[in-house]
Amino acid sequence: KAGVTQTPRYLIKTRGQQVTLSCSPISGHRSVSWYQQTPGQGLQFLFEYFSETQRNKGNFPGRFSGRQFSNSRSEMNVSTLELGDSALYLCASSLGQGTMNTEAFFGQGTRLTVV
Amino acid sequence: AQSVTQLDSHVSVSEGTPVLLRCNYSSSYSPSLFWYVQHPNKGLQLLLKYTSAATLVKGINGFEAEFKKSETSFHLTKPSAHMSDAAEYFCVVRDLNTPLVFGKGTRLSVIA
């Protein structure tokens, strides 16, 4: 069974640009979550999607947005990039909501560098 | 709201000696608890999870953790450290229908 696939693995963007990151979950998983990882703030929750609906949202500005498609693939977009957006963005997939003990499986992440 | 405190930011052990990574949690309900490991430039890999079926949970690569409700702790242990165990370890808590909440991480160094 294929794992969680994130593309691209690395990105370099300029301040003010926008970026789109992609995540393909494990087959059969309907829930996708996104996390930002930085040395200073650690792992912070961005948003969670289940069956194309955003179920939870973290405390990030509106420049960060996401969506989920009918095949459960998800994208996140960051507009008007700032230097502080440089981070490792991790996507996690799980079977679905309502099951507390369902573990999340993570992709390798997308390393975004804003210059 | 739930939260996690990993009591040590860095732990250093000699190869072949026991490992103890400490984690305390706070939760309004009976939470799910997980330990994940992250090797450099890699994603997160699940080591083990607490499912409420047993307080002593066994995971991959010889790791185990004990859930102690009275102490709100979920410490991770391994009897004998291996060089390949050197990585960042995250304790994670989750309540029903809420996102995963991560601790700040503990960096484990293993000395030959």
| B49-87: pLDDT as tens digits | 997 778 899 999 999 999 999 999 999 999 999 999 999
Distances (CA, A) of B63 to B35, B57, B71: 10, 9, 20
Contact call for A90 and B34, based on CB within 8 A: no
Q: B56-85 burial by CB neighbour count: b if 16+ within 10 A, else e?
A: ebebeeebbbebeeeeebbbbebeebeeeb
Contacts of B99 in chain A (CB under 8 A): 33, 45, 48, 56, 58
pLDDT at B1 over 90: no
Shortest Cα distance, chain B CAs vs residue A106, angstroms:
6
pLDDT, position A103 = 84
Dump pLDDT digits (tens) for A11-56: 999 999 999 999 999 999 999 999 999 998 999 999 999 999 999 8
Contact call for A90 and B46, based on CB within 8 A: no
The answer to whether A63 touches A114, Cβ cutoff 8 Å, is no
Place of tokens 């969680």: A4
d(CA B67, CA B27): 13
Dump pLDDT digits (tens) for A58-84: 999 999 999 999 999 999 999 999 999
Residue type, position A9, single letter = R
Contact call for B101 and A45, based on CB within 8 A: yes
Q: Hey, CA dihedral for B30, A104, A93, A58, is it positive or negative?
A: positive
SS3 content of chain A, % helix, strand, coil (to 5): 5, 50, 45
